[in-house]
Structure 1
Amino acid sequence: MHHRLQVQKNRPEIKVVKEYGQLPLVVCYSSLLNQVFMNLLANAIDALSDAATRTDTPLKEPQIVIRTQTQPIQSLSSTEKATDGAVIQIGDNGSGISQDVLEHIFDPFFTTKPVGKGTGLGLSISYKIVVEKHGGQLRCVSSPGQGTSFIVEIPLNPQPS
């Protein structure tokens, strides 16, 4: 995806800030998680490209921050206690997402992109990979004008399903 980060005709280079903490080995489906991370990065690049070409307040210094760390995470089951997890956060400084859109971003076929530019399946599939295949969580934190962050939480010691 490096070529998509480079200077474009209507957009400056997208800077990627890597804040990697120490993560232990994680039991996971690595190719599926790679699909999730590629989708989140592609969406961040699309959002920053859109924000950079806005005519009202174009984004001058588009940036993506990737953070990794280990921290306690809460299981989806409220009866289970918190467990150690790998937390991966991918955030951008784009124009953010409204509350109405946030409520639907993980719905299958939901997209804000014009016809022909997206299927609306990327976040839905990513959600299923993280939650159903890994017993983790995928959350989005955003508000208009403040950028968007997706947080992937994967338990370090997955429970047998």
Structure 2
Amino acid sequence: MMMTLGFFVFERRTAPYQTLEHDKAWRHPDNPRVGARPSSQFTGVDNEFITLSGELRPEVTGGRASLNEVTRMADSGKSYPLIDGEGYTYGHFAILDIKETKTEFFNDGAPRKIEFSMKLKRTDDKSRNRIGSADLGNLSLGASILGGLR
């Protein structure tokens, strides 16, 4: 298992991604001042996005069915927990967009190669996701369980 988004598991049989791009930002708006540079003030975290991209070869990896399942999840408008294979929880993410490029077709029109990318947006409050010392035992238990799934 590479990662899960809700109950969808990214792995070789479904939608193995080759690239994970994680964009985080923080807000520092400027306040104009007379005769001086604008002052900057930290106002908090900004949006967080994850973009997964990869290539499917339906003879070996997942194909149309895997992308249809992720599309169904996006259609629901819900957010899902995103957890990687090492047990790290990124937070809750909604699917913003999915792009597919199909090439190298069989005689019947089915693609041999499907390049995909999907953009996810974090929807939960980062402050609620902090791990306290009381949670460390649960974290190590969860990591050992996920480690057994590899």
TM-score bucket of the superposed structures, by smaller chain: 0.3 to 0.5
**How does the TM-score come out when normalised to structure 1?**
0.33
Structure with bigger helix share is 1
- Higher Rg: 2
Structure with bigger strand share is 2
**How does the TM-score come out when normalised to structure 2?**
0.35
